[in-house]
Amino acid sequence: MTGCESYRASRRAFLRQAGGGFGAVACAAMLADDRGRHVLADSGESAPAMAPRASHFAPRAKQVIYLFMHGGPSHVDLFDPKPDLVRYAGQPLPDSFGQVMTRRKVAANPLLPPVRPFRPRGESGIEISDFLPHTAGCADELCVIRSCHGDSVNHPQSVYQMNTGTVLMGKPSLGSWVSYGLGTENRNLPAFVVMPDPGGGVKGGPPAWGNGFLPATFQGTTVRPGENPILHLRPQEGLSGDRQRRILDFAGQRNRDHLAVRGFDSELSARIDAYELAFRMQSAAPDLVDLSGETQETLELYGVGERATNEFGTRCLLARRMIERGVRFVQLYSGDTVGWDAHSDVAKNHGRYCKATDRPVAGLLKDLRRRGLLDETLVIWGGEFGRMPMSEQGKGRDHNPWGYTVWMAGGGVKGGMTYGSTDAVGLRAAGDKVHIHDLHATILHLLGLDHESLTYFHNGRDERLTDVAGHVVTDILA
């Protein structure tokens, strides 16, 4: 056998061994990923997502519950009262507001007044619509940001931007960044959990809670109510726990051997971690979704057991149980592939979704407060954009990314206040504008994370959730 014949290496092996240049590249990649890996104090085991990590500074909040109203709830019908919409109802949008619309569109779609009246609520006097009587009862807990704005009129791009900071698909979501930055306090549950609406997926799909270029371990894990909260989690019939543990140990060792000789592969590493997490979750997940230990009063608080509110109320209650168990970021979606997208009839659409979500959301806030959890839990409510002040198809409203409302509660924000404003008819953000980058920077800040320092090296640059923009909205901090 000649010297050449004695070295029949694969291309992968050749590149892995061919000199310091390639070795340095591999080393850099491993070191970059190592920023997301750490050792669990109780076991010495390396676990990139599961062990808690120190924040950049003292946090106001420890965890997040994000209530995402998919489809675009109407700010001018829920949280942003506009007397001029009542005064000029049925008239065309004035010229001074029509620069983002064609004149033909303005003439064909006159101003539509709020569908239901607004009233001052609580000691703070925040005006909230009659669509949301239960949430209105929690007005003094809310920080209502009326000047949010984004960059796309389309659902998928706006869903991506609200979740990932960009209209492009494939970037890490907010929940992934948070779990990457902070980890979780429960090794038996994921750091980032998503509960989609059972009626269907969101426009844009699972990339809305994906990990993007972050290691695959940090993607959101979908959980559903019921006896089978995570698909394919249950072991096969007749397989004992000991036998399953031996099979998993054998497969894990082979996978680690495979990983060791190939440098770091985030997909393979995530798969190894997922096997271990799935084994632990087989006992933790069923207990999580078992509501038999909750009192009847608590179930009624969330509307569990009542036809209109049972589904969303159950998921809100599960969100509370998750953050009690150390899950870092929980995201609930209200609305299927259409959801709050009230193009033809705001009263009918929002009447349905407000009835389904209002009581559970208020119940969640009240339950967190009485359990001493609200001060350390940031609750966020909002959609991918708002709705136009003009009518569409007579009784509906079109998409509006130029000015809309998001509210937050607990977790270090001031309660009982409004921040920012839209113009006189609610078309565009006007005062103290809050771009999505600013909103994300503020959320990270409340969790003790500097949005400029929470980075991940990818394709030659330090990537971050807020790209090269964003500032913390300090006026809303408690």
In angstroms, the CA 33 to CA 105 distance is 51
User: For 392, which DSSP code?
Assistant: B
Domain assignment of residue 282, yes or no: no
In angstroms, the CA 362 to CA 266 distance is 40
Domain assignment of residue 246, yes or no: no
pLDDT tens digit at each of 478 positions of the chain: 444 444 455 555 544 554 444 333 333 334 334 444 443 333 334 444 457 889 999 999 999 999 999 999 999 999 999 999 999 999 998 776 655 454 445 557 899 999 999 999 999 999 999 999 999 999 999 999 999 999 999 999 999 999 999 999 999 999 999 999 999 888 788 899 999 999 888 999 999 999 999 988 899 998 876 556 565 555 556 555 566 556 666 766 777 777 666 665 666 666 666 655 555 556 566 778 889 999 999 999 999 999 999 999 999 999 999 999 999 999 999 999 999 999 999 999 999 999 999 999 999 999 999 999 999 999 999 999 999 999 998 999 999 999 999 999 999 999 999 999 999 999 999 999 999 999 999 999 999 999 999 999 999 999 999 999 999 999 999 9
pTM for this entry:
0.83
Task: Tell me the three state secondary structure of residue 475.
Answer: helix
The CATH number of residue 303's host domain is 3.40.720
Count of structural domains, the chain: 1
Q: Mutual orientation of helices 436-446 and 174-182 as an angle, nearest 10°?
A: 30
Domain assignment of residue 436, yes or no: yes
Domain assignment of residue 433, yes or no: yes
Domain assignment of residue 5, yes or no: no
194: containing domain: 24-229+295-476
Closest by CA to 347, choosing from 8, 77, 61, 23, is: 77
Distance linking the first and last C-alpha atoms of the chain? 76
Domain assignment of residue 316, yes or no: yes
CA dihedral 420, 426, 430, 431 (to 10 degrees): -20
For 452, residues 6+ apart whose C-beta sits below 8 A from its C-beta are 464, 466
Q: Which residue has the tokens 């969101």?
A: 202
Domain assignment of residue 353, yes or no: yes
Domain assignment of residue 272, yes or no: no
In angstroms, the CA 292 to CA 99 distance is 56
